Amino acid sequence: MLFTDKKHRFVFLIALVIFFLATLAELFLIRTVLEKNAIRNARSAFIFLEARIGAYLETLRLLPQVPEYLQDLAWLTDELQGQPSLVGVLVKEGNNVLLDTFPEGFFNLPPEVFEKCRQGLMMNEVYFYCGEFESVPNRRLFLLVGIDLSYEHQVFKEAVILTLLIFLTGGVLLGLAFYYVDRLSRRQEELERRLSASEKLAAMGKLSAMIAHEIRNPLNSILMGLQYMAEMGELSPEVLQTIRQEAERLTELTGELLSYTKGFEIHPEPVSVRQLLEELKLKLLPRAQIQNIDFQVETVPDIVLHLDRRWVLRALENVIRNAFEAIGKDGHVWLRVEERPQEVVFLIEDDGPGIPQKDQEHLFEPFFTTKDSGFGLGLYLVRKVVEAHGGRVEVDSRKGRTVFRLVFPKPHI
C-alpha cells in the first residue's frame, strides 16, 4: 500500500482527480481555441473573396468591353496562393461553376457539406464555410471555402501528448510528495509514541522520588517514636499522637496516589449543601485556630445537590487546606456558597500572598506543586472531581486575594 494513512490516501485520490480534471479542462480549452481560430480564418477568407468577387463583377458591369483575361475568375487563383490554409474555393452562379480550386475529388462532396456549411462544418481535417451573396443586381453567387485543419489537428495531438506527459509527471511528483508526507506522518507518530513513553518514564521517576521523599519522613518519625517508647519502657501519649498523625499523612498520600493511578467513580446522591459546610467547619476549624486563621463559613439556605458526598468533601477540603498553607498564620479564609439559576458555586477565598501568574496556568496539572512537600495531586483531583459532576473549577488570584470557585450544576427537576 502506497500510503498507510487512509486520510492521506483519500486526499491523494482527490488531488489526483482534480489534477486530471484540470488536464481535461486544459485540453478542452486548447481544442476550443484551435476551432475558433479555424472558424475565424474561414470567415476571413469568405469575406475577402466576397469583396474581391464583388469588385470584379462591378468592374465587368462598368466596362464596355471585357478583356479576355477577365472573362472568368481564373485570375483569382493567383491571389489564393497567398493563403496556404485554403484547401479550395468553389464559386457557383446557379448550376454554373465559375471557379473551383478544390483538388480533384473535392467537388463531389457529400450533400451534407452543402446543407450544413452555412453554419460551418468540420470534415476530414477541413472546415467548410459557405454562403450566398449578391454584390451586383440580378447576380446571386454561392461561395464555398475550405480551410485546412491539419495544422490545428497536429497542434492538438502534440498538446495531448504534452499534456499527458505533464499529467503523468505531475501524478508521479504528487504521489512522491504524499508518500513523503505519509512517511513524515508515520515518523512523527513514532516520535510522539517515544516521547509519550519517555514522559511516562520521567513521570514514574518523579513519582518514585516523591514517594521516597514523602514516605521517608513519616516513617522515620514513626520508627523514632517506637524506639523512644521501647527504650523508655512506657507508652507516651505525645509520641502516640505523633505516630497517629504521621500514619494519617501516609494514608492521605496513599489515597491521592491511588486516586491518580486508578481513577475514581462517583455515586451521586441528594446532599444538603448546608450539612456539607457544617461538616467542613467542624473538621477544619480546630486547625485554623491553631494557625490563628479566621475561618468563616457562611450560613446558606438549605440547597440540595446530587453529589458524591465523599469526593466533594475531599475536594473542598483540599482547596481549604491549600488556603491555610498559603496564609501560614494570622489570615482570613472564607467559605461561601453562591446560588445561580442553573448552578451552585462553592467559593473559597483567602487574603494570602496570591498565586503567581506563571503558576496559575499549571495549577491543575498532575505533579505540579510549589510546596516543598506533597505530590502535586491535590488540585488535580479537585478538578477531576468537579468535572466528573459536570462542573468546572475557576481561579482568580492576585496579591492579597485568591478565590477558588467550584461550580456544580443544579439537578434537573
Q: What CATH number is attached to the domain comprising 301?
A: 3.30.565.10
Q: Distance of alpha carbon 392 from its chain centroid, rounded?
A: 28
The whole-angstrom separation of Cα 234 and Cα 241 is 14
**DSSP string computed for 65-125:** S--GGGSSTTHHHHHHTT-TTEEEEEEEETTEEEEE-SPTTSSS--HHHHHHTTT-EEETT
**Rg from Cα positions in the chain:** 49
Which of 83, 116, 148 is where one domain is finished?
A: 148
The whole-angstrom separation of Cα 170 and Cα 11 is 15
Task: Tell me if 274 is assigned to some domain.
Answer: yes
Task: Tell me if 310 is assigned to some domain.
Answer: yes
Same domain for 140 and 272, yes or no, is no
Domain count, the chain: 2
HSE (side-chain half, CA atoms, 13 Å) at 385: 23
Same domain for 136 and 269, yes or no, is no
Specify the 3-state DSSP secondary structure of 290.
helix
Query: Domain range spanning residue 22?
Result: 6-148
Where would I find the H helices in 233-343?
Answer: 237-262, 273-290, 309-327
Which of 148, 163, 194 is where one domain is finished?
A: 148
The whole-angstrom separation of Cα 221 and Cα 243 is 7
The whole-angstrom separation of Cα 280 and Cα 359 is 27
Task: Tell me if 348 is assigned to some domain.
Answer: yes
Task: Tell me if 360 is assigned to some domain.
Answer: yes
Task: Tell me if 117 is assigned to some domain.
Answer: yes
Task: Tell me if 288 is assigned to some domain.
Answer: yes
Q: Counting Cβ atoms within 10 Å, is residue 95 exposed (0-12), middle (13-18) or buried (19+)?
A: exposed
Which of 114, 148, 182 is where one domain is finished?
A: 148
Same domain for 269 and 135, yes or no, is no
The whole-angstrom separation of Cα 46 and Cα 238 is 123
Task: Tell me if 209 is assigned to some domain.
Answer: no
Q: What is the pLDDT of residue 283?
A: 87
Task: Tell me if 126 is assigned to some domain.
Answer: yes
Local confidence pLDDT in tens for the 413 residues of the chain: 455 567 767 777 888 888 888 888 888 888 888 888 888 888 888 888 888 888 877 777 777 665 666 667 777 777 777 777 888 888 888 888 888 888 775 656 777 778 888 888 888 788 888 888 887 777 888 888 888 888 888 888 888 898 888 888 888 888 788 788 778 878 888 888 777 666 666 666 666 665 665 676 677 777 777 777 777 777 777 777 877 777 776 776 676 666 555 556 788 999 999 999 999 998 889 888 988 999 999 888 888 999 999 889 989 998 998 899 888 888 899 999 999 999 999 999 999 888 888 887 777 777 667 666 556 677 888 898 999 999 999 999 888 899 999 999 998 76
